[in-house]
């Protein structure tokens, strides 16, 4: 398939699924602006490496893989920059607190390592199929199933 055709398919996919892609990024970074940045950076990475897409039918899993890895890289980078000065802490203490309806679920999900969190978010929040998630994570299906079972077991223990 020609590069221009694949690029056009990528643009169509991103345009069609923009809300889903944003939601997936937001599940990782927990910030609206950062989620937009992650999606934008993912689109740039995808356009730059569109030649590596061998099967245009696998665009969804290919792009989701780029998006998930970009979000994880963003979080790793953010951890390194977390140094706050006194003014920032004072500013943050004056703001309104976030209210979550399922706070236990979100806290437990945040305690998971990236490999388990990715699988659970993609399976239950993004409703991807097992085979698609295995493609996104680059794991075998049986490895995915094992990690899903372990991640859910960890969550059950911490939620009960």
Nearest to 129, CA basis, from 138, 139, 141: 141
Instruction: Read off the tokens for 107.
Output: 């806290």
> Which option is the CATH number for 98-160: 1.10.443.10, 3.40.50.1460, 1.10.10.10, 3.10.580.10?
1.10.10.10
Position with higher pLDDT, 2 vs 33: 33
The string of pLDDT tens digits covering residues 105-127 is: 777 888 888 888 888 888 888 88
The pLDDT value given to residue 83: 47
Domain ranges of the chain: 1-83, 98-160
Contacts 24+ apart (CB under 8 A), 44-50: 45/70, 46/10, 46/14, 47/7, 47/10, 50/3, 50/6, 50/7, 50/10
Grade residue 27 by pLDDT with cuts at 50, 70 and 90: confident
Position with higher pLDDT, 104 vs 18: 18
Architecture, CATH, for domain 1-83: Orthogonal Bundle (1.10)
Poorest-pLDDT segment among 24-28, 62-66, 83-87, 135-139 = 83-87
* pTM listed for this prediction: 0.65
């Amino acid at each position: 398939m020609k590069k221009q055709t694949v690029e056009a398919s990528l643009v169509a996919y991103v345009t069609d699924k923009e809300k889903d892609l944003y939601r997936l990024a937001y599940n990782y970074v927990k910030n609206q602006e950062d989620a937009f940045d992650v999606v934008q950076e993912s689109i740039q990475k995808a356009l730059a490496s569109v030649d590596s897409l061998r099967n245009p039918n696998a665009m969804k899993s290919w792009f989701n893989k780029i998006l998930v890895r970009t979000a994880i890289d963003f979080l790793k980078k953010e951890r390194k920059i977390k140094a706050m000065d006194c003014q920032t802490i004072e500013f943050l203490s004056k703001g309104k607190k976030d209210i979550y309806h399922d706070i236990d679920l979100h806290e437990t999900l945040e305690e998971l390592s990236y490999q388990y969190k990715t699988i659970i978010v993609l399976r239950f929040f993004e409703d991807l199929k097992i085979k698609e998630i295995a493609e996104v994570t680059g794991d075998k299906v049986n490895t995915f199933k094992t990690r899903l079972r372990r991640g859910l077991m960890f969550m059950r223990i911490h939620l009960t």
